[in-house]
Chain A
C-alpha cells in the first residue's frame, strides 16, 4: 500500500488571541482513507479540522503559524481560498441546509462557481443525491424546502451538497452528534462508501464511531496530537499511556 499524502502539516500552531489552541501539530493525512480525530472537548480537534479549509478565517482573533501542505502547496500562504474550499468540502456538526429547496441546496455551490446550464445542474443534483444515498427518499420533492427533511436526511443533504462540488477531501465535524442511532448508522455506512472516491477527515466524540469507520486515528489532547496511527493499533495497542487512559474511559 503506497498511498499519496493529501495533507501534511508541519509545526502547526494556532492561537485564539493569547490562548494557544494547537501546539506544533505534525500530521500526514493520506488520500482516500478515513482519518478520525478523537479527544475530549476543547482539545483542538475541530479547530485543526477548520484549518484545513481555512474556515478559521471567519474568526478575527485567530493567528496561525507553521505549514499546512495540501497537494504540494502551503494553504496558509497567499492562496485562492475559494478554490481551496471547492476542493476541500465540509460537513458541520449541526445539519445546516439553507432555507431553500432541496434542489437549490445542492445546486448552490456549482451555481456560485458559475455553472448555469440547467441539464448540467440537473445531472449534478441527481448524482450527488444518489452518492449521498438520499435520492430515493427525495426524488419526488426536489422543489420542496430542505427544512422539511428529518435531521438525518438534512445531514445527508449537506453531504450531497459537499459532493456536488466534486471535492477531493470532505471534512466532517462531528457529523452525527445531533442524530439518532439509525440516522448515524446510515451516515457511517455512507462514509465507508465515499472513501473510495474522497479523502475523509472526521472529528468525532464517539470512539466506537472512530473504531468502526476510520483507517487512521489521531488522539488530540490539550492542543497536541498525542498519538497518530492505524486505527486498530490506537484502539488495541496504544503507545502512549494517555491514549490508553482515554480509550478505556478513564477520563474524557
Chain B
C-alpha cells in the first residue's frame, strides 16, 4: 500500500514539474505584455502626451518635447516590404534549387551555407552592412550619407533568407513524388512541373516561411540600427532617405531616457507589438482562406 502511494506521489510531482516548466513561457509572455502595455499606455492615460500627436507626428525631439512616430512606422513598413520583395523570390528560388534541381552534393553544400547564415549574430549583419553595403549605396546615392532605406532593405533581405529558404525547402520536399510523376507523365517539363505543380502544392508552407521572414524583418534591431541612419524627423521619400524603424528608436534611447520620454519609448513598443500581431493574424487568415479554396 505504502509503496503504491509513494509511487503515485512521485508521478504527481514529476507531472507538476512539467507543468511549471510550461508555465514559464506563458508567464513570461503575460509579464512582458503587461509591462510594455502598462508603461506604454501611461502617458496617454495620464494625459502627459497626446496619443494623436504620438501616432501622427513626424518628428522625434525629446529635447523639444516632440514625440511623433509616424515616420518611424512608415520606415519600418517600407524596410520590411522592400526586404520581402527582394528576399522572398531569391529565397524561394534557392529553396527550389536545393530541393528540386541541385544534385545531392551541391544541395547539401548550399543547405549548409544557409544554416550557417542563420547562425550569424545580427550585429555582424549590421557590421557587414555598414562596411560593405553602405559605402556602395553612398556611391550611387544623391545624399551625403550611405545609411538609408536601401541599405536597410538589403541587409534585411539577406537576413530573412535562411528562414524563408529552410522552411520553403522543407515544404517543397514534402510534396509527394506522385505529383511530380503525374506531371512528367503528361509531358510537362521539369520547370513546368516545379512552377505549376510543386510550388503551388507547397504554398502553405512557403507562406509560413514568408510570415516568419516578415516577423524577423520588422523586429530586427541591431543590424538595422547600424545602417538605417536613425534621423530625428521626416517620412522617407526615396530609397536613399534615412529611416528610423520603431525597433531602433527604442534601443537607441531606452538606456538614458526618463519620465515621459521613457514611457513613450514603451509606447513605441506597444505600437510595434500590435503591428506585428496584426500582420501575423492577417497573413495567417489570407493563407488559410487561399488554401481552403
Contact = CB atoms under 8 A, between A and B. Distances in A.
Interface of A: 53, 55, 58, 82-83, 85-86, 89-90, 92, 94, 96-100, 108-109, 111-113, 158, 161-162, 165
A86 B183 CA distance: 11
Dominant secondary structure of chain B at its interface with chain A:
helix
B77 interface: no
B226 to A, nearest CB: 44
B2 to A, nearest CB: 58
Given A98-B197, A99-B200, A112 B189 contact: yes
A112 B201 contact: no
Given A99-B200, A99-B201, A92 B187 contact: no
B5 to A, nearest CB: 54
B186 A89 contact: yes
B181 interface: yes
B178 A109 contact: no
Interface of B: 176, 178-189, 192, 196-197, 200-201
A55 B196 contact: no
Contacts of A161: 182, 186
A158 B178 CA distance: 12
B188 A90 contact: no
23 contacts: A82-B188, A85-B185, A85-B187, A90-B185, A94-B178, A96-B176, A96-B181, A96-B182, A98-B182, A98-B201, A99-B179, A99-B200, A99-B201, A100-B200, A108-B183, A108-B196, A108-B197, A109-B187, A109-B188, A112-B183, A112-B186, A112-B192, A162-B185
Given A82-B189, A99-B201, A112-B189, A55 B178 contact: no
Nearest to A84: B187
A55 B201 contact: no
Given A58-B181, A99-B200, A112-B183, 11 more contacts: A85-B185, A89-B185, A96-B178, A96-B179, A96-B181, A98-B197, A100-B200, A109-B188, A112-B186, A112-B196, A161-B186
Contacts of B179: 96, 98-99
A70 to B, nearest CB: 15
Contact of A162 (B186, B189, B196): B186
Contacts of A109: 186-188
Contacts of A92: 178, 181-182, 185
A109 B188 CA distance: 7
Given A92-B178, A112-B192, A98 B185 contact: no
Nearest to A90: B185
Contact of B187 (A98, A99, A100, A113): A113
A55 B187 CA distance: 11
B200 A82 contact: no
A83 B183 CA distance: 14
A40 to B, nearest CB: 23
Given A99-B200, A108-B196, A112-B192, A58 B182 contact: no
Contacts of A111: 196
A112 B187 contact: yes
A158 B187 contact: no
Task: Indicate the member of B176, B187, B196, B201 with the most A CB atoms within 10 Å.
Answer: B187
B3 to A, nearest CB: 53
Given A99-B201, A108-B196, A112-B196, A83 B182 contact: no
Given A55-B181, A58-B181, A112-B192, A165 B200 contact: no
Nearest to B293: A145
A90 B182 CA distance: 8
Given A98-B197, A112-B192, A112-B196, A82 B187 contact: yes
Quick one: which of B178, B200, B201 has the most chain A CB within 10 A? B178
Name which of B178, B182, B186, B188 has the most chain A CB atoms within 10 A of its CB: B186
B178 A85 contact: no
Among all A-B residue pairs, the 4 with the closest Cβ atoms: A109-B186, A86-B187, A96-B178, A90-B185
